[in-house]
Structure 1
Amino acid sequence: MGLVLMFTIFGRLASVTGHIRAISSQTLEYLYLCNIKLQGNIPQSFFTLVNLTEICLSSNNFSGFFFTDGNYDFSRLERLYLSSMGLTEFPKLSGKVPNSIDLDLSNNKFNGTVPEWLHEMVSLQSLYLSQNLLIGGISSSICNASSMEFSTFLRANKLHGPIVNLETEHQFPSLIVFDISSNNFNGLPKAYIQNFEAMKNVIQEVENRLQEYIDIGNSTGIDSIIDHEIVSATLTTKAMSMTFNQIPINLVAIDLSSNKFEGEIPTVIRELNALKALNLSHTDSVVQYRNP
């Protein structure tokens, strides 16, 4: 059982804008209230919906704190989308969403460093922290998320420094999309790249449509060169972007663009046989990518 109220391809559902009323259905499993200009506080009844597996509240205008008092338990929750909400304080998710596989906190106003509690989310596969005000380096909490599989998006923050030190031997072994573009990183991430084991295995293409790209020009990001085919979503065109869209099932991509990297791209990149998109634009890196 689910409730879906969101911006659709046919227009905005204007009749449901405004304040959200109490939601009391204990059998509710998914709740999509995206892009409909909701305002005010989330009713306390929302935090009693213990059977929810998917929540999307992105692109609304809720006020007050959100997921910050820790007085809730969404142990069945798998997907949580809280992008474009103007949030300034990270939600307290540690121990509250142990089975979460998708977490979207992009396009908010988070500052400070990436929270350390991320390492406790052992089931996390996709993480979206793009377009915030985060500082510091790549957090060890992200590196310890060994289940990270589909994507790590840290694009357009204020992250900086080298990303060459690994605390564990095998980090990001399942990752197939790595986007740290539009930051201030330096020091090419050779140690990370050589641990991208999933990128070394050729993935069967959907309808053999996705072509290989190496972009060292003026691209604005990986999203400008990816194929339209997606895993599951309401829309299948780049003309409209909804926060719960999944990445292309066959996209294997690295975006290091708009950083302070310089020097030669490490030859270990040759081992990533499944790589389909490599974006190095707006860096001082020299591409020496050749087929063996």
Structure 2
Amino acid sequence: MALSSPSSPSSCLLGLLFFLIFSVLQRSIVVAQLSLNSEEQESVYRVLEAVNSEVPWRSLFPDDFCSSAPHGVACDFFVDGAAEAVHVTELSFGYVSDYSPNPPCTESSTVDSRLLLPFKHLRKLFFYKCFTERPVFMSAVSISASSLEELVFIENPSLVGSLAGQLGNLTSLRRLVLTGNNVSGEIPGGLGDLTNLEEIMLSRNKFSGEVRFSINKLKKLKVLDLSYNGLTGNIPESIGELPKLLKLDLSSNRFSGKIPHTLKNLKNLEFLDMSYNLFTNSGIPLCLAEMPNLKELYLSGNFFGGHIPEIWDKLGGIVGVGLSGTGLVGNIPASMGTFLRNVVYLGLDNNGLEGTVPEELGYLSSLNELNLENNNLKGRLPFSANFAAKLGDKLKLEGNPELCIDEGLWSPKIASSLGQLKLCKKPSLPNPVPFSGGILVTPVYLVSILGFFVSLMLVVA
């Protein structure tokens, strides 16, 4: 068997692998040999005690935190000029799961920005369900470390105050996640200057005012979630200048005006949720047809009005469509059943849709939920018994008084979702007519006989 030459690709890859393994081991040995400076060591103890004073942290972890620390506290190796040192790079608190057993928080958990000052090399600060009773202001958890890459606060209902003046120095920040807190005020304009941001999640807070930060500067942004706040005004046109954006969620705010046509430039966008705002009388945006990677589209709760546009041939990859309560009128396009072959959820309820239900919707093999409630649909439901049984109570048809189903389609499994839907009348058959000799014939048969005799008389004449 021929041996690989020293310069072959496999030899190069093997050499690179050994180099990486050696580098990691060497780094670990260096970190283990170096000690955390006493100021940072003491600061870690103080933060742990502020988060959970019920745990004897000093006796449980008497050694250097960079050689032995609870999960959620991490260090790394740095070279400052000619000097080598280790510093704390991660502080994560709040038990998430057995896979992320961070130091647990208590009802009295708190923190003070002065405790965080010594951590000049911190890259990640994380709090999960820590501030639940005792009010903690955003200013108390502010950190000025320009090295910070992740600032994460999830489900901390007692975290209050505003972001004003809290973000200016965080030029390395990649993730800003503040979700499920009570942070309020306007989103600071300085947010647009943090050009390394890849993820902004400010959902479920009390932010208000308009979106004024220079959003078009954030060219690396992949996720923008401002949902469930009190934001107002128009959505800035510059939102279409985010080439890497994958998810845009602005739902449950008070945005008004029109959805900007510049969304068509978001060619990589996969998730779009603008539901439950104050957009009115502008129709479903046609620019959606120019977003080929869209997989989820939710616009419910805005009175767009108009008809459902014929754009679905360009959106075959969609798995979820929510157009509930959007003031739609006219017919349901058959093209939705023709082109949305991957759709799992389709919500068209609480509109003014009329006409019959397209037979093509019954061919959507991936569909798990179809909501057509509270429209003006009529006629026979064209679905098969197998299709109806598959969807079960996720086939929602109530509130369409002129819609009917065949008797064979009804089953206890879907009864709750049908409401007062009536059974379709069976096609009327001709009534039999008595004939002499006790034979029953139909009117059609009588006409046939009469026609025969007329023809015979014409021939004889």
Normalising by structure 1, we get a TM-score of 0.72
Residues 170 and 194 in structure 2, CA contact (< 8 A), matched pair in contact too: yes
2:235 aligned partner: 90
Residues 181-234 of structure 1, C-alpha deviation per residue, up to 9 Å, x if partnerless? 1121122132233221323xxxxxxxxxxxxxxxxxxxxxxxxxxxxxxxxxxx
Q: Distance in 2 between matches of 1:171 and 1:113?
A: 22
Alignment of 1:264-279 (within 5 A): 264-279=356-371
- State the one-letter code of the partner of 1:173: G
Q: Residue 152 of structure 2 aligns with which residue?
A: 4
Describe the shift of the 1:104–1:184 C-alpha distance in structure 2 as closer, same or farther (beyond 3 A).
Answer: same
Give the structure 1 partner of residue 348 of structure 2: 256
- Report percent identity of matched pairs: 28
Matched, 1:146 2:285: no
Q: Tell me, what secondary structure is at the counterpart of 1:160?
A: coil
Supply the AA of the counterpart residue of 1:289: F
Q: Between Structure 1 and Structure 2, which shows a larger proportion of helix residues?
A: 2
Q: Deviations over 1:94-134 (max 9, x none)?
A: 45321111101111112233221111111111111111121
Larger Rg: 2
Structure 1 pair 51–270 and aligned structure 2 pair: CA distance change class (3 A): same
More contact order relative to length (CA 8 Å, sep ≥ 6): 1
154-163 or 44-53: bigger deviation = 44-53
Task: Look up the equivalent residue of 1:7 and give its one-letter code.
Answer: E
Query: What code does the residue aligned with 1:18 have?
Result: G
RMSD: 2.2
The counterpart of 1:57, out of the listed 175, 184, 202, is 202
Question: Which 5+ residue runs of structure 1 have no aligned equivalent?
Answer: 200-251
Tell me which amino acid in the other structure corresponds to 1:125: E
Q: Distance in 2 between matches of 1:115 and 1:93?
A: 9
- Once the two structures are TM-superposed, the CA of residue 72 in structure 1 deviates from its matched residue by 4.7
Per-residue Cα deviation, 1:139-159 (whole angstroms, up to 9, x for no partner): 11122211101x111111111
Over 3 Å counting, the alpha-carbon distance change for 1:113 and 1:190 in structure 2 is farther
Change (3 A) 1:174 1:95: same
The 1:64/1:262 distance shift into structure 2, 3 A limit, reads closer
Q: SS in structure 2 opposite 1:193? A: helix
Match of 2:170, SS state, is: coil
1:59 is displaced (CA, Å) by: 2.9
**How many residues get paired?**
231
For residues 215 and 250 of structure 2, what CA distance do their matches in structure 1 show?
Answer: 20
One-letter identity of the residue aligned with 2:173 = L
C-alpha separation in 2, matches of 1:64 and 1:270: 45
Instruction: Quote how far apart the aligned CAs of 1:41 are.
Output: 3.7
1:104 counterpart residue number: 249
Q: 5+ residue gaps in structure 2? A: 1-148, 388-461
Q: Distance in 2 between matches of 1:44 and 1:112?
A: 22
**Letter of the structure 2 residue corresponding to residue 191 of structure 1:** S
Using structure 2 for the length normalisation, give the TM-score: 0.47
